[in-house]
Amino acid sequence: MTLARIDRRWFVTIALVALVWSVFGQTLRHEFINYDDPIYVYSNPRVTAGLSVAGIGWAFTHIHAQNWHPITTLSHMLDCDIYGVAPWGHHLTNVLLHTAAVLLLLHTLLAITGRLWRSAFVAAVFAIHPLRVESVAWIAERKDVLSGVCFMLTLLLYQRYVRQPGIVRYLLVFVACACGMMAKPMLVTLPFVLLLLDYWPLLRFERPRSGGRKASTSRIIVEKVPLLLLSAGAAVATLLAQGQYVGSGEELSLPDRLTNAVLSYVAYVRQTFWPAGLVPFYPHRQNAVPAAGVVIAIGLLA
């Protein structure tokens, strides 16, 4: 790597940090809100007591805010140890975590593709995209920015494992993935994301990348089995934690749930390219969506 390229990478890194803080630095002046923040932080005596052996045990063995996410709970406890219940400190941690996720994304894409400016563009879009505002500016969404850091770290560690396979490097991928799911179980799809990376741009199904060895299809699949077991465990834990809070089939039938899932996927794609009309809560549409709209949504996804 030439000196000029190193300088450009440092320039991009500093520019991305400045970009994140120019938008989200203002949240340090914001307060808690009365939507989820009380149960996550300032009205939860287990959390405000800070980190302790008993607190760590509680985080791993109890449900917190209708979720089992012990890594997220521990991060809130640590914040209370450092800042007390001063909201600026909790906002600061969210911004720092988001900054870390952005930089990890940049260096992951750069390591995989070797394209500095394209990687910088993707990282910049992620850094200040309106869909990220809720996650960063809302203290109760710590689970999202924290799992985002673990997600990006898993990708970075995985590409290093692919280039030079080894048990230690694989264990690092496993641990990062596990921490991500214990921050927010949304990462249950991460093993499938890694399969997509295997297909492109790592090209493990076609030919070996420079500095790496060609892997058989069976090996690529077997590599994901421990991660899929993590996903299954996280899914079961989530169902157990949220079982009493999930609406029954009488309230919302399986066809209604499947319809909502299809429409939500399309809505997220639309919001990615046209992020307008964003709100914290989207009520179910009930029977307001015509069948033609569902068919069109399925067609778009296909």
Would you state the pLDDT for residue 95?
Answer: 98
Would you state the pLDDT for residue 20?
Answer: 98
**CB-based burial of residue 98 (10 Å sphere; 0-12 exposed, 13-18 middle, 19+ buried)?**
buried
Identify whether the C-beta of residue 128 lies closer than 8 Å to the C-beta of residue 136: no
Would you state the pLDDT for residue 280?
Answer: 85
Would you state the pLDDT for residue 209?
Answer: 47
Would you state the pLDDT for residue 145?
Answer: 98
54 secondary structure, DSSP code:
H
Would you state the pLDDT for residue 102?
Answer: 98
Tens place of pLDDT for every residue, the chain, 302 residues? 566 667 899 999 999 999 999 999 999 999 999 999 999 999 999 999 999 999 999 999 999 999 999 999 999 999 999 999 999 999 999 999 999 999 999 999 999 999 999 999 999 999 999 999 999 999 999 999 999 999 999 999 999 999 999 999 999 999 999 999 999 999 999 999 999 999 999 989 876 544 555 678 999 999 999 999 999 999 999 999 987 666 555 577 788 888 888 988 999 999 999 999 998 888 877 766 778 888 999 999 89
CA distance 187 to 258: 20
